[in-house]
């Protein structure tokens, strides 16, 4: 049995060694290192492992990769975040941007605030932008703010990960409850930007995290209108399954069906008509899906719309 006490003498935890790692599903389980214990203690003390120090019986600090065999009692010390200069903050950002996981680990052990920004960029934003999964995981473990935006446009780590299709980073951020609907200033949501780039698996993850399939950009464009305009068939299906509003227009009145008719995308038109999209809904200038298809001589689309009219 291993006991962990605060310096004041109060018990923090008492647990068999075999419960470490095994309970957490960690790779360190065979030798039960200090890292596993600190992750377990975070539940009790509320501080990440980077702000914990475990002292053995002789007062020596145990490193995170040290084994625990031979210890019966440890003392836990919780550290405040250290004073951090601008150069030190920049050092962590550079390490995160370069995917230097060992350097990031060392800097976080100072312990250093992972949320300090330089020129509006946080370490987590840079790592998410580059798609550096291990660095993202380390920073989140150090309590980095998953939603802290870039100062100029409000883009979050999740937004840039979706923008560049970094699937595993997106998944990790969503697991840490990053805001799946937070848009950039005067711009799109993570879901819209993923639709725009046709990142099907990213869209799937966002919808599984209950991203708002109808949240629009500043001109009223929705994820479904973006997918329809670009002909992203698989994404179109995912959005319809998520009950996206098939008839919601943007500010000029253009609906997803109108975009598909204008772009001569017969397959998108077919899918939307099968989903009972409103074939007669006009734009603000009075143009309808059928009139624009006729005007542009999109014969296949015109036939589809006429058949739909005949069935009505």
Question: Does this model's pTM top 0.85?
Answer: yes
CATH class of the 2-78 domain in this structure? alpha beta
Taking the C-alpha atoms of residue 163 and residue 207, their distance in angstroms, rounded to an integer, is 15
Strand partners, 74: 4
pLDDT, tens digit, for every residue of 118-147? 999 999 999 999 999 999 999 999 999 999
Q: Can 82-207 and 213-312 be said to share one CATH topology?
A: yes
* Helix or strand holding residue 162 (H, E): helix 157-163
Do you find a cis peptide bond into 111, omega within 30 degrees of 0? yes
- Whole-number Cα distances in Å, 264 to 9, 99, 273: 74, 44, 14
Give the CA count within 13 Å in the CB-facing half-sphere of 162: 31
Measured between alpha carbons, how far is 138 from 37 in angstroms, rounded to an integer?
16
Tens digits of residue pLDDT in 229-286? 999 999 999 999 999 999 999 999 999 999 999 999 999 999 999 999 999 999 999 9
Q: Let me know if domain 213-312 sits in CATH 2.120.10.30.
A: no
What pLDDT shows up at residue 71? 77
82-207: CATH topology: 1.25.40
- What residue ranges do the domains of the chain occupy? 2-78, 82-207, 213-312
- The conformation of residue 295, written as its DSSP 8-state character, comes to H
Q: Round to whole Å and give the CA distance between 73 and 191.
A: 50
Q: What is the predicted pLDDT for the residue at 24?
A: 42
The chain-wide mean pLDDT, for the chain, equals 92
């Amino acid at each position: 049995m291993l006991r962990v006490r605060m310096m004041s003498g109060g018990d923090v935890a008492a647990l068999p060694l075999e419960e470490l790692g095994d309970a957490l599903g960690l790779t360190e389980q065979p030798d039960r290192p200090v890292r596993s214990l600190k992750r377990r203690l975070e539940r009790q003390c509320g501080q990440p492992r980077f702000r914990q120090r475990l002292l053995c019986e002789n007062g020596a600090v145990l490193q995170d990769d040290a084994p625990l065999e031979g210890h019966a009692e440890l003392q836990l010390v919780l550290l405040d975040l250290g004073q951090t200069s601008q150069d030190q903050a920049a050092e962590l950002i550079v390490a995160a941007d370069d995917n230097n996981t060992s350097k990031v680990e060392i800097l976080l052990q100072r312990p250093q605030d992972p949320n300090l920004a330089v020129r509006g960029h946080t370490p987590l934003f840079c790592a998410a932008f580059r798609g550096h999964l291990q660095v993202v995981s380390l920073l989140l473990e150090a309590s980095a703010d998953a939603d802290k935006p870039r100062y100029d446009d409000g883009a979050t780590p999740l937004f840039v990960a979706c923008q560049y299709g970094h699937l595993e980073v997106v998944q990790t951020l969503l697991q840490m409850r990053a805001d799946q609907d937070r848009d950039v200033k005067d711009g799109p949501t993570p879901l819209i930007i993923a639709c725009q780039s046709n990142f099907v698996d990213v869209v799937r993850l966002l919808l599984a995290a209950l991203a708002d399939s109808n949240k629009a950009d500043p001109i009223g464009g929705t994820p479904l209108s973006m997918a329809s305009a670009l002909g992203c068939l698989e994404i179109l299906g995912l959005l319809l399954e998520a009950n996206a509003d098939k008839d919601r227009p943007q500010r000029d009145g253009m609906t997803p069906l109108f975009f598909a008719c204008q772009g001569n995308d017969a397959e998108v038109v077919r899918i939307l008509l099968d989903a009972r999209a409103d074939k007669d809904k006009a734009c603000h200038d009075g143009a309808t899906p059928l009139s624009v298809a006729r005007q542009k001589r999109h014969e296949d689309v015109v036939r589809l719309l006429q058949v739909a009219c005949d069935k009505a």
